[in-house]
Structure 1
Amino acid sequence: MNTILHGAISTQRVAGTARLSCAVGDGRTRLRRLYQDGAAKIRMPAVSGDPLEAVLINTAGGMTGGDRLGWGVEIEAAGSASITTQACEKVYRAASDRAEVRVRLSVGENGRVAWLPQETIVFDRAAFARTLDVDLAADAEALVLEATVFGRLAMGERAAQGTFHDRWRVSQGGSLIHAEDFRIGPDIAAALGRPAVADGAIAIATVLLVSPRAESLLGPALEIVGGEGSASFWSVKKSGKLLARLHAGDGYQLRQRLVPLVELLNGRAGLPKLWSL
């Protein structure tokens, strides 16, 4: 929406912040606090047991240059929560500035979080930056996923130009255990076409599991990832870290492997219900 101020056109920007805090009560994880502002909303479907499920919603229906969204999740000791999004987040062409999303996850002792948003779809000439900060107690677990599709081939769309930056910082017991910065642009198509980057694929995903179970899941994860990606394991203090990267020719092909991989790594919690709709 545009408004005219003193003869100039000023574009309204999307802004929103939402935070939830949950803790164990009466034998299951329950909501303690919920804060919502602007376009950022959180809904919690009714579930019979753990994990608590939360659905993030951007009521603006997408993002463009200058838009800002912030999400925060705090899980207290022994709590468990699964977080997803209502739909794929769309990042449209930016006339100026960039769209930004900031995510902060905090998990207490013996707690668990599954951060499983649906794919981010990046349109041509979009500008986007996302930061993900995860703070885990020494014995907490986390499953973290971010998947990105550069254009929609089925619609004849391709993200040829633009900028994209994804920054992750994961700490456990006060120590940094995982850090990465992925940047691509301004010539996105050319970069994705390089064999060392994605060899022409336009859909990519990073999946991180921090858990004592991680090492035992490496073999099955490698079978699911197949030749279009990789998976590896590292010991991290008293826990372990499994990292998988996938790429595919389009979003549909990517999801065909993401679904069984998430089901494997998320244990009994399985796949978020919205993923199967």
Structure 2
Amino acid sequence: MRGLPAAAPDTGWRARLDLGFAPTPGPQARRTRLVRAEHSGPLQVQRPFYPERDGTCHVVILHPPGGVVGGDRLRLDAALAGDCGALLTTPSAARFYRSAGAAAVQEQTFRVAPGAGLEWLPQETILFEGARVTTTTRIELAGDARCLAWEITCLGRPAAGEGFARGALDQHIELWRDGAPLYLERSRVAGGSEAQAAAWGFGGEAVCATLLATVDAADACDAAREALGDTAGRCAATQCDGLLLLRYRGPSAAEARARFIAVWQALRPAVLGKAAVLPRIWHS
């Protein structure tokens, strides 16, 4: 389709990060360990942090160059063994810069074993004017594995007066359980296209965001809506078949993130059985 990202050629950065999490063996206090952190190229991880009593592992994903350009390809793979708890986040917004033609590609796959809980809570993704981006996030749950995850996408830089009249986004978000799809989303937006202005698309707003939570509690949706407060019609929540879906469409990535954090704090006890503890990096 005209205006959408072409496959990245064999140029630019190639970066891969492969993470593995496993519970501490033996009878001592249970803690989730980062047992594998293999990387190539400019994609790395800080040392694990343990701010919670139950030993949940907090990990910050680092991309030292600070921005992504056309032709770059980033891949993150993370696998959680049974009975693990891991929270993954990023230190700042991901920035995709203007491309001369090739797309930047970002692929993220999370595999979560029975009894484990994944939290994927990155800061926002910002597409600069002229960026061409293909991004895929796939979460594969097994058995009773649980997850809380979000993606926040900003077309252009509204605070700097920059729109997204040129460029393209091809975004995939997938959530699976035991090989069956729970949620499949694909957004294809060409800069300056009808999708940016239409009510069925971005509705003239710069930011679109999705939050997913695996939760069976009947009152989870009401709890999420209460946590959102008055959103002036920018947020909507629904729950079906053990999955809560929250969508945001509005002018501000900071507002989307603040709303999502409030919902995460409200839902974490029902999803993961523990109160929310904010990652240290969010305070810096």
Compute the TM-score of the two structures, normalised by the length of structure 2.
0.86
| Matched position secondary structure for 1:73 | strand
**Alpha-carbon offset, residue 45 of structure 1:** 4.1
Check whether the contact 1:109–1:139 (CA below 8 A) recurs between aligned residues.
yes
Aligned partner of 1:263 in structure 2 is 265
Question: Contact 1:222 / 1:231 at 8 angstroms: preserved in 2?
Answer: yes
Superposed CA deviations along residues 33-82 of structure 1, whole A, max 9, x for unmatched, are 11011011011343144320111111121111110000011110000000
Q: Name which of 42, 47, 59 aligns with 1:44.
A: 47
Question: Tell me, what secondary structure is at the counterpart of 1:262?
Answer: helix
Do the aligned partners of 1:51 and 1:269 also contact (CA within 8 Å) in 2?
no
1:220 equivalent to 2:223? Answer yes
Shift of 1:100: 0.6
1:167 aligns with 2:172: yes
Q: 1:176 matched to which residue of 2?
A: 181
Verify: 1:34 aligned to 2:37, yes or no: yes
SS at match of 1:266: helix
Unaligned runs of 5+ in 1: 1-9
Q: Deviations over 1:82-128 (max 9, x none)?
A: 00012100001110210011111011111000011100011111100
Identity of aligned residues (%): 27
1:273 corresponds to: 280
Letter in 2 for 1:218: C
| 2:240 aligned to which of 221, 234, 244 | 234
Q: Report if aligned partners of 2:152, 2:257 keep a CA contact under 8 Å in 1.
A: no
Structure 2 distance, partners of 1:134, 1:95, is 31
Higher relative contact order (CA 8 A, sep 6+): 2
Inter-CA distance 12–172: structure 2 relative to 1 (3 Å threshold): closer
Structure 1 residues 199 and 29: alpha-carbon distance in aligned structure 2, compared to 1, 3 A threshold? same
* Pairing partner for 2:86 from 81, 87, 91: 81
Q: Deviations over 1:150-186 (max 9, x none)?
A: 1222222222221111112221123222211111114
Residues of 1 paired with 2:34 and 2:44: CA distance? 15
Query: Aligned pair 1:252/2:251, yes or no?
Result: no
| Match of residue 114 from structure 2 | 109
> Are the counterparts in 1 of residues 34 and 48 from structure 2 also a CA contact under 8 Å?
no
What do you get for the CA RMSD once the two structures are aligned? 1.9
Q: Match of 1:269, SS?
A: coil
1:114 maps to a residue whose letter is E
Query: Are the aligned partners of 1:52 and 1:81 in contact in 2 as well (CA < 8 Å)?
Result: yes
- Is 1:208 aligned to 2:203, yes or no? no
TM-score (norm 1): 0.88
Letter in 2 for 1:68: R
1:247 aligned partner, one-letter code: R
Q: 1:86 to 1:256 in 2, by over 3 A?
A: closer
Structure ranking higher in strand proportion: 1
What letter matches 1:198 in structure 2? F
The answer (yes or no) to whether the contact 2:73–2:104 under 8 Å persists in 1 is yes
Which residue identity is paired with 1:33? R
Counterpart AA for 1:31: L
Pick aligned residue for 1:198 from 199, 202, 207: 202
> 1-side partners of 2:85 and 2:11: how far apart?
37
* Greater mean deviation of Cα atoms: 115-124 or 168-177: 168-177
Matches within 5 A, 1:108-147: 108-147=113-152
Q: Which residue of 2 aligns with 1:4?
A: none
| 8 A contact 1:234–1:242 mirrored in 2 | yes
Q: For 1:194, give the aligned amino acid.
A: A
C-alpha change, 1:206 and 1:243, in structure 2 (3 Å) is same
Structure 1 residues 136-159: Cα deviation after superposition (integer angstroms, max 9, x where no partner): 111000111100111222222222
Instruction: Verify the 8 A CA contact 2:10 2:71 in the aligned structure 1.
Output: no
One-letter amino acid matched to 1:274: I
Q: Which runs of 4+ in 1 moved over 6 A?
A: none
